[in-house]
Amino acid sequence: MRLLTFIMVVATMTLNAGVNRLTLNSALDMLESSNLEVQVAKYNETMKFYDIAKVKAKNFGKLDITVTALRSNDAGNAFGFKVQSREASFADFGFADFMGAIGQGAQAAQGDFGKFSQGLGMAGPSILAIKPKALNYPSAVNHFITKFSYQVPLYTGGMLNNYEKITTKLYQLSKIDTQKVLSLKKYELKKSFYDVSLVNNYIANLSDIKRNISKLKNVIKEMQKEGYAVETDYLEVDAKLAEVDAMLDEAKLNKELALHFISFILNTKVSSIVPPASAPVMPRVTKDIVEAKSLDIAKARLGRSITKNAIEVEKAKFKPTVGAFAEYGYADHKLIPDSISKKDFYTVGVQAKMNLFNGGADKAALEKAKTNYLKVSTQVILAKKGMWLKASKLKSEIKSLSSQVRSYQKQYRFSEKVYATYKAKYKEGVASITDVLIKQSKEIEMLLKLLQVKNKKNAKILELQNLINE
């Protein structure tokens, strides 16, 4: 029991701790199976797959069973029920009343056929005028009908075939949508990892700056003892140190926020990561690569193919449709008759149907489908040109940002040296502490600008990777 309790406690602690030292490759491996948005997109995929099954099912027809229970004393219904269940007799036609009248005539004739014939001729109109009670006022009867009906299309002018092609392509379209969601999540995940890497770099540089300011603070303290520094110098440096501390706290909070975002994307608590050792790699991008790998272009092409099938669907409306029908059933005054074979019935048939005129609506629908195909074909061309333009723009922006990174790296190294120079001048009494701190602020400013430009460059490279689905 104690061992079980210990295991539960350890398991709980492990779950609460989350994933530690997660690498980017491991995170990317986890992404597809753990991200909730990707899972939702996959559910949409599955629903589109079942749409294909629904269309295919129409080729196999439809089989229904219908059970009807009736009770009626309506003359037409009661007589019809008996006919349908094959139970009708002459008595149901009112022959009892007819035979009674004939019997009375025979009795009056006393065996004289001539007299009987003469009497029958005279009484004929009155006999025919008899309203049979059994036929007109039947007792209420129960009636149960069980039917099996099967309908199957034999020829639809290609409509079902093209609907199947459309639903299949819509399923493929949903798979591309899933890939787009996954690609976007990859972009967000990579960016978060590289953001943490830059924040770590920023924290490390700020920590060095903090140490330098702390050393300067100690130098001022010693110089105060010798009378070479004043209290305001010490307070000014102390205020700068507090400012750097605040910047460090903000950077650490940003890092924590990035970890929360990574946890959200992976739907798993991530306590720490291993930042990438180097910046993201600029992908090789040509017009052919963009056209081959861009998911937006793939969607546009698939959309064009779907509209082509839609034209065939509209053309099918000008062709005949042929369907077959078969029905088998049985009827009785009981739900299950004693002998189904004596009560059963069947009907089979074939129906051909073709629209001859509907005011030109089908013609208009066909022309609309053709126009839509031309529109989507133009959109494919537009998608190709648009994606290549976007890729070219990103490549240009990355080159520009690379130049800015090199420039800010040089400015940052220069600002470090300037700060070191002014720090030495302050010790010699040549420069004021304000001058030193101004140079220190310039160093921090260059550090911030350098990291901001690096961040922009990383984002553009990752965006270019996302454009070609890498």
For 317-342, the pLDDT digits (tens) are 999 999 999 999 999 988 989 888 88
Site of tokens 């009636």: 143
Distance CA 323, CA 325 (A): 7
Q: Are residues 363 and 346 in the same domain?
A: no
Distance CA 399, CA 195 (A): 20
Domain assignment of residue 113, yes or no: no
Q: What is the pLDDT of residue 98?
A: 56
Q: What is the pLDDT of residue 92?
A: 64
| Number of domains comprising the chain | 2
Last residue in a domain, options 353, 377, 406: 353
Q: Are residues 298 and 383 in the same domain?
A: yes
Q: Are residues 366 and 447 in the same domain?
A: yes
Q: What is the pLDDT of residue 123?
A: 52
Domain assignment of residue 122, yes or no: no
Answer for the pair 193, 272: CB distance below 8 angstroms, yes or no: no
Domain assignment of residue 405, yes or no: yes
> Which CATH number is 345's domain given?
2.20.200
Site of tokens 């629209």: 355
Domain assignment of residue 108, yes or no: no
Q: Are residues 412 and 330 in the same domain?
A: no
List of long-range contacts for 408-411, beta carbons under 8 Å, 24+ apart = 408/446, 408/449, 408/450, 408/453, 409/450, 411/446, 411/449, 411/450
Cα–chain center distance at 400: 38
> Which CATH number is 447's domain given?
1.20.1600.10
Domain assignment of residue 191, yes or no: yes
Q: What is the pLDDT of residue 125?
A: 62
Q: Are residues 217 and 289 in the same domain?
A: yes
Pairing mode of beta strands 141-155, 62-72 = antiparallel
Taking 70 as the pLDDT cut, the residues of the chain under it are: 1-17, 90-134
Q: Are residues 333 and 203 in the same domain?
A: no
Domain assignment of residue 12, yes or no: no
Domain assignment of residue 303, yes or no: yes
Q: Are residues 214 and 333 in the same domain?
A: no
Q: Are residues 185 and 231 in the same domain?
A: yes
Domain containing residue 325:
61-83+142-155+320-353
Instruction: Write the single-letter amino acid at 242.
Output: A
